Amino acid sequence: MIVTNRRQMARLFHDRMNGNYRDDPNERQPGRRPEVVKSYLVDAYGTWSPGEADESPFVSRLAEIVDGSGLGSRFTCEVHPAETGDLATICARMGDRTSTYLHVDAEDPRFWIVHATATGQAADRIVALLVEGSTRINRVLIPVQLLDRVRMLGTCVGLGLDFDRRLFSTHADGNDGSRMGSLKMQQWGHEAGRLLEYMRHEPSFADRTTLSRLQIRCQPDGGDGTAFSVEEIRIDGKLTAKGTWFEGHANMVRTLKGAFSGVVGQLESNHAIQVGSTGDVVTGKALAIDTGRRIEDLDAFTRKVFSGARPFQLWGVPRGGDGLVRVRATDLGLGGRLDFEITPAFIRIYLPSTTSGSTVLRFYANLQRHHDACVRLVNEEEMDVLES
């Protein structure tokens, strides 16, 4: 269904969550069950030009992206602007099948939220097609510390851990000989949070307890329990909501977006390398990753990370020797450029002012998931960037 403003969009999703299809005769079917609302956080760095007077309207930029994307090439797509200039509906249809609707909210012109009620896999596929083929927008990857922040916003009723070091393993079986190469676990119930804390403090598990998804139950202050949402929040910036309370989901999306954009803003304002306002200072404070577990094989590590493939999406040619490998890299996700210097114990990152800070967070979150859950992103004072 095409929406014309945010109020209508909120009502639509509220109705879908509650199994109410009164506004849409095409969707009205007897016995139809309530739907799950899905929202995806997207970095629109490549469309974002703060302060530029000739910036084209959001809807034109979105239409260009759709045209050049995998979505535009496989589906018949129409982009319908809402009354406000920062909201639009993409109506995508393949052949005679039912249309799928994506609602793209660019209230924050830098970080868009894409909402959908299509079934989980279909929505995932359509959003993947939308960002594919364009370096103007990309899905985000969320560091564990930010998931921990939103964990406190409700009652944690489930979580998933996903750590997989086999990506870097040089052993045929994917394990490193002495320690477990992967750890995947799902835990449901109110004790999930306690179990996570226990594992984080247990030395034999600490470096593998990478939180990858959370389930949080939220309800309004003083509510009687009839209005609630159960949120599932994933490391890849996808949030799904079941329950009866869309506003709870909208709050969760806003909070996660705010936390993520806050860290990205901090990276871009403190660490991006550029000429300062006085003209004689090249600004950009040092930024590094303490790798925790040492990188034993720099050659294999850098070849994997900078191959251009997912999950890192970084392209480059590693140069150097045993002590330090330097890579002038290109981010294939958002088209920016950045430099890395990689030693067994730490990685220096140089972020140009023309590259999105979320590229750094994607690299960092991937290390949390594939190298060591305890890697630290540190600033020039060797303080944790994500805890300041």
Interface with another protein by CB under 8 A: which residues?
A: 46, 68, 70, 132-133, 135-136, 273-275, 278-282, 284-286, 288, 290, 307-309, 315-317, 319-321, 323-324, 326, 328-332, 335-337, 339, 341, 343, 345-346, 348, 350, 352, 354, 378-382
We find the least distance from the C-beta atom of residue 123 to another protein, in angstroms, to be 20
Residue 173 tokens, joined: 């079986």
Nearer to another protein, 36 or 327 (CB): 327
We find the least distance from the C-beta atom of residue 258 to another protein, in angstroms, to be 28
SS3 364: helix
Nearer to another protein, 60 or 354 (CB): 354
We find the least distance from the C-beta atom of residue 364 to another protein, in angstroms, to be 14
Nearer to another protein, 163 or 306 (CB): 306
Q: Residue 142 and residue 240: Cα distance in Å, rounded? A: 15
Q: 263: closest CA among 119, 142, 94? A: 142
Contacts of 101 (CB under 8 A, 6+ apart): 1, 2, 89, 90, 91, 92, 116, 117, 118
We find the least distance from the C-beta atom of residue 359 to another protein, in angstroms, to be 11
Contacts of 2 (CB under 8 A, 6+ apart): 80, 89, 91, 101
Nearer to another protein, 70 or 311 (CB): 70
Q: 371: closest CA among 182, 185, 197, 238? A: 182
What are the CA-CA distances from residue 226 to residues 34, 188, 206, 242 (Å)?
Answer: 15, 21, 38, 13
- Burial string for 253-277 (b: 16+ CB within 10 Å, else e) reads beebbebbbebbeebbebbbbeeee
Residue 383 tokens, joined: 């303080």
We find the least distance from the C-beta atom of residue 194 to another protein, in angstroms, to be 35
We find the least distance from the C-beta atom of residue 384 to another protein, in angstroms, to be 13
We find the least distance from the C-beta atom of residue 74 to another protein, in angstroms, to be 11
Nearer to another protein, 205 or 315 (CB): 315
8 A C-beta contact, residue 84 and residue 91 = no
Nearer to another protein, 54 or 96 (CB): 54
Nearer to another protein, 182 or 343 (CB): 343
